[in-house]
Amino acid sequence: MCAVIGISGKIQKELLIKIFLESQIRGRHATGVSFFKSGRVHTIKEPLPSFHFIQKHDPSDWYEGNTITMIGHCRYSTSDLEYNQPIADDNRSVVHNGVISQEMPDHWKQLYNIDCETKNDTELLFHSTPDDWPDASIAAVFLDKNKMTWTRNGKRPLWFTKLEECDIITSTEDIAIRSGLSGSVKIEYNGKDLQNDY
Protein backbone atom coordinates (compact mmCIF):
# COMPACT_ATOMS: atom_id res chain seq x y z
CA MET A 1 0.00 0.00 0.00
CA CYS A 2 1.50 3.31 -1.15
CA ALA A 3 0.11 6.68 -2.18
CA VAL A 4 0.54 8.27 -5.58
CA ILE A 5 -0.08 11.96 -6.22
CA GLY A 6 -0.42 14.02 -9.38
CA ILE A 7 -0.96 17.77 -9.66
CA SER A 8 -1.00 19.84 -12.84
CA GLY A 9 -2.07 23.48 -13.05
CA LYS A 10 -2.56 26.37 -10.67
CA ILE A 11 -2.85 25.31 -7.03
CA GLN A 12 -2.13 27.06 -3.76
CA LYS A 13 0.94 25.70 -2.02
CA GLU A 14 -1.07 25.12 1.17
CA LEU A 15 -3.43 22.74 -0.65
CA LEU A 16 -0.53 20.91 -2.29
CA ILE A 17 1.05 20.41 1.15
CA LYS A 18 -2.26 19.18 2.59
CA ILE A 19 -2.52 16.55 -0.18
CA PHE A 20 0.99 15.30 0.63
CA LEU A 21 0.28 15.21 4.37
CA GLU A 22 -3.00 13.35 3.94
CA SER A 23 -1.36 10.90 1.52
CA GLN A 24 1.18 9.75 4.10
CA ILE A 25 -1.52 7.58 5.68
CA ARG A 26 -0.69 5.08 2.90
CA GLY A 27 3.06 5.17 3.48
CA ARG A 28 5.43 6.85 5.92
CA HIS A 29 8.70 5.14 5.03
CA ALA A 30 9.76 7.35 2.10
CA THR A 31 8.50 10.31 0.09
CA GLY A 32 9.42 11.50 -3.38
CA VAL A 33 8.46 14.07 -5.97
CA SER A 34 9.20 14.78 -9.63
CA PHE A 35 8.35 18.17 -11.08
CA PHE A 36 8.82 19.85 -14.44
CA LYS A 37 10.78 23.11 -14.31
CA SER A 38 13.25 24.94 -16.57
CA GLY A 39 12.74 22.48 -19.41
CA ARG A 40 13.38 19.23 -17.54
CA VAL A 41 12.11 16.85 -14.86
CA HIS A 42 13.65 17.26 -11.40
CA THR A 43 13.33 14.47 -8.81
CA ILE A 44 13.80 14.42 -5.05
CA LYS A 45 13.25 11.32 -2.90
CA GLU A 46 14.17 10.56 0.68
CA PRO A 47 13.42 7.93 3.34
CA LEU A 48 11.20 10.37 5.26
CA PRO A 49 7.45 10.64 5.89
CA SER A 50 5.85 13.42 3.88
CA PHE A 51 5.57 15.69 6.94
CA HIS A 52 9.36 15.80 7.31
CA PHE A 53 9.94 15.76 3.54
CA ILE A 54 7.79 18.89 3.09
CA GLN A 55 9.64 20.62 5.94
CA LYS A 56 12.98 19.84 4.31
CA HIS A 57 12.02 20.56 0.67
CA ASP A 58 9.96 23.71 0.10
CA PRO A 59 7.24 23.02 -2.49
CA SER A 60 7.56 26.64 -3.67
CA ASP A 61 10.69 25.47 -5.47
CA TRP A 62 8.63 23.00 -7.53
CA TYR A 63 6.55 25.69 -9.24
CA GLU A 64 7.30 27.34 -12.55
CA GLY A 65 5.73 30.76 -12.22
CA ASN A 66 2.31 30.23 -10.65
CA THR A 67 1.75 26.72 -12.04
CA ILE A 68 3.06 23.29 -11.20
CA THR A 69 3.27 19.96 -12.99
CA MET A 70 4.37 17.27 -10.55
CA ILE A 71 3.89 13.72 -9.36
CA GLY A 72 4.61 12.34 -5.91
CA HIS A 73 4.83 9.12 -3.92
CA CYS A 74 4.45 8.14 -0.26
CA ARG A 75 5.95 4.70 0.24
CA TYR A 76 4.95 1.91 2.54
CA SER A 77 7.96 -0.39 2.54
CA THR A 78 7.64 -4.13 2.98
CA SER A 79 11.37 -4.71 2.58
CA ASP A 80 13.98 -1.93 2.64
CA LEU A 81 14.33 1.77 1.94
CA GLU A 82 16.39 1.46 -1.22
CA TYR A 83 15.11 2.35 -4.68
CA ASN A 84 12.32 4.69 -3.64
CA GLN A 85 9.99 6.37 -6.11
CA PRO A 86 9.61 8.27 -8.37
CA ILE A 87 11.59 6.35 -10.98
CA ALA A 88 12.79 9.11 -13.27
CA ASP A 89 15.27 10.66 -15.63
CA ASP A 90 15.50 14.25 -16.90
CA ASN A 91 12.55 13.80 -19.27
CA ARG A 92 10.14 11.34 -17.66
CA SER A 93 9.01 10.03 -14.32
CA VAL A 94 6.54 7.51 -12.90
CA VAL A 95 5.02 6.82 -9.49
CA HIS A 96 3.18 3.55 -8.99
CA ASN A 97 1.15 1.68 -6.41
CA GLY A 98 0.87 -2.04 -7.03
CA VAL A 99 2.96 -4.94 -8.24
CA ILE A 100 4.42 -5.32 -11.72
CA SER A 101 6.44 -8.49 -11.14
CA GLN A 102 7.05 -10.80 -8.22
CA GLU A 103 10.06 -12.33 -9.93
CA MET A 104 13.47 -11.62 -8.42
CA PRO A 105 15.11 -8.52 -9.94
CA ASP A 106 18.12 -10.59 -11.00
CA HIS A 107 15.82 -12.36 -13.49
CA TRP A 108 14.14 -9.29 -15.04
CA LYS A 109 16.58 -8.98 -17.94
CA GLN A 110 16.13 -12.63 -18.88
CA LEU A 111 12.35 -12.67 -18.39
CA TYR A 112 11.38 -9.27 -19.77
CA ASN A 113 14.42 -8.13 -21.78
CA ILE A 114 14.51 -4.88 -19.78
CA ASP A 115 17.70 -3.50 -18.26
CA CYS A 116 17.00 -1.96 -14.84
CA GLU A 117 19.25 0.09 -12.60
CA THR A 118 17.15 -0.51 -9.47
CA LYS A 119 15.40 -3.44 -7.82
CA ASN A 120 12.08 -1.58 -7.74
CA ASP A 121 9.62 -3.23 -10.11
CA THR A 122 8.17 0.19 -10.94
CA GLU A 123 11.24 0.60 -13.14
CA LEU A 124 9.81 -2.13 -15.39
CA LEU A 125 6.81 0.15 -15.89
CA PHE A 126 9.12 3.11 -16.55
CA HIS A 127 10.68 1.22 -19.49
CA SER A 128 7.38 -0.06 -20.95
CA THR A 129 3.65 0.72 -20.89
CA PRO A 130 0.87 -0.51 -18.60
CA ASP A 131 -0.57 -2.54 -21.49
CA ASP A 132 2.58 -4.69 -21.38
CA TRP A 133 1.55 -5.93 -17.92
CA PRO A 134 -2.02 -7.26 -18.13
CA ASP A 135 -1.66 -9.37 -14.98
CA ALA A 136 -0.02 -6.65 -12.86
CA SER A 137 -1.76 -4.41 -10.34
CA ILE A 138 -1.30 -0.81 -11.42
CA ALA A 139 -2.30 2.63 -10.25
CA ALA A 140 0.27 4.98 -11.75
CA VAL A 141 0.86 8.62 -12.56
CA PHE A 142 3.34 9.61 -15.26
CA LEU A 143 5.20 12.83 -15.94
CA ASP A 144 6.46 13.18 -19.49
CA LYS A 145 8.23 16.53 -19.56
CA ASN A 146 5.40 18.94 -18.73
CA LYS A 147 2.48 16.53 -19.26
CA MET A 148 0.89 14.51 -16.47
CA THR A 149 -1.07 11.35 -17.31
CA TRP A 150 -2.42 8.48 -15.24
CA THR A 151 -3.86 4.98 -15.43
CA ARG A 152 -5.12 2.11 -13.33
CA ASN A 153 -6.17 -1.43 -14.17
CA GLY A 154 -8.85 -1.98 -11.57
CA LYS A 155 -6.64 -3.63 -8.96
CA ARG A 156 -5.46 -0.48 -7.12
CA PRO A 157 -7.38 2.73 -6.34
CA LEU A 158 -6.96 6.07 -8.11
CA TRP A 159 -9.14 9.20 -7.94
CA PHE A 160 -9.32 12.37 -10.07
CA THR A 161 -10.38 15.82 -8.90
CA LYS A 162 -10.89 18.68 -11.34
CA LEU A 163 -10.49 22.19 -10.01
CA GLU A 164 -11.02 25.31 -12.10
CA GLU A 165 -7.37 25.47 -13.16
CA CYS A 166 -5.86 22.25 -11.83
CA ASP A 167 -6.07 18.46 -12.26
CA ILE A 168 -5.36 16.43 -9.11
CA ILE A 169 -4.77 12.69 -8.70
CA THR A 170 -4.98 11.01 -5.29
CA SER A 171 -4.88 7.35 -4.35
CA THR A 172 -8.21 7.44 -2.55
CA GLU A 173 -11.30 9.60 -2.29
CA ASP A 174 -10.69 9.90 1.47
CA ILE A 175 -7.33 11.59 0.84
CA ALA A 176 -9.05 14.09 -1.46
CA ILE A 177 -11.85 14.76 1.04
CA ARG A 178 -9.47 15.18 4.00
CA SER A 179 -7.46 17.59 1.85
CA GLY A 180 -10.58 19.73 1.39
CA LEU A 181 -11.40 18.61 -2.15
CA SER A 182 -14.84 17.63 -3.40
CA GLY A 183 -16.29 16.13 -6.54
CA SER A 184 -13.62 13.46 -6.93
CA VAL A 185 -14.23 10.75 -9.53
CA LYS A 186 -12.94 7.19 -9.40
CA ILE A 187 -10.69 6.58 -12.37
CA GLU A 188 -11.85 3.66 -14.47
CA TYR A 189 -9.58 1.27 -16.32
CA ASN A 190 -6.83 3.25 -18.09
CA GLY A 191 -8.67 6.48 -17.28
CA LYS A 192 -10.58 6.15 -20.54
CA ASP A 193 -13.66 7.71 -18.95
CA LEU A 194 -11.59 10.87 -18.45
CA GLN A 195 -10.12 10.76 -21.97
CA ASN A 196 -6.67 10.41 -20.48
CA ASP A 197 -3.91 8.35 -22.02
CA TYR A 198 -0.40 7.43 -21.06
Beta strands in 20-153 (DSSP E): 30-37, 40-46, 68-75, 87-88, 92-99, 137-144, 147-152
Secondary element (H or E) of residue 159: strand 159-162
Confidence of residue 82 (pLDDT cuts 50, 70, 90): confident
Confidence of residue 10 (pLDDT cuts 50, 70, 90): very high
3-98+135-194 carries CATH number 3.60.20.10: yes
Between 83 and 164, residue with greater pLDDT: 164
Q: Hey, how many other C-beta atoms are within 10 angstroms of the C-beta on 154?
A: 13
DSSP assignment letter at 111:
H
Confidence of residue 193 (pLDDT cuts 50, 70, 90): very low
For the chain, the distance separating the N- and C-terminal CA atoms, rounded to the nearest angstrom, is: 22
Helices (H), 73-170: 108-112, 122-126
- Measured distance CA(131)–CA(198) in Å, rounded: 10
- Measured distance CA(94)–CA(152) in Å, rounded: 13
**Could you tell me the pTM of the whole model?**
0.92
DSSP assignment letter at 64:
B
Q: What residue ranges do the domains of the chain occupy?
A: 3-98+135-194
- Measured distance CA(45)–CA(141) in Å, rounded: 16
- The pLDDT score that the predictor gives to residue 195 is 40
pLDDT mean over 74-102: 89
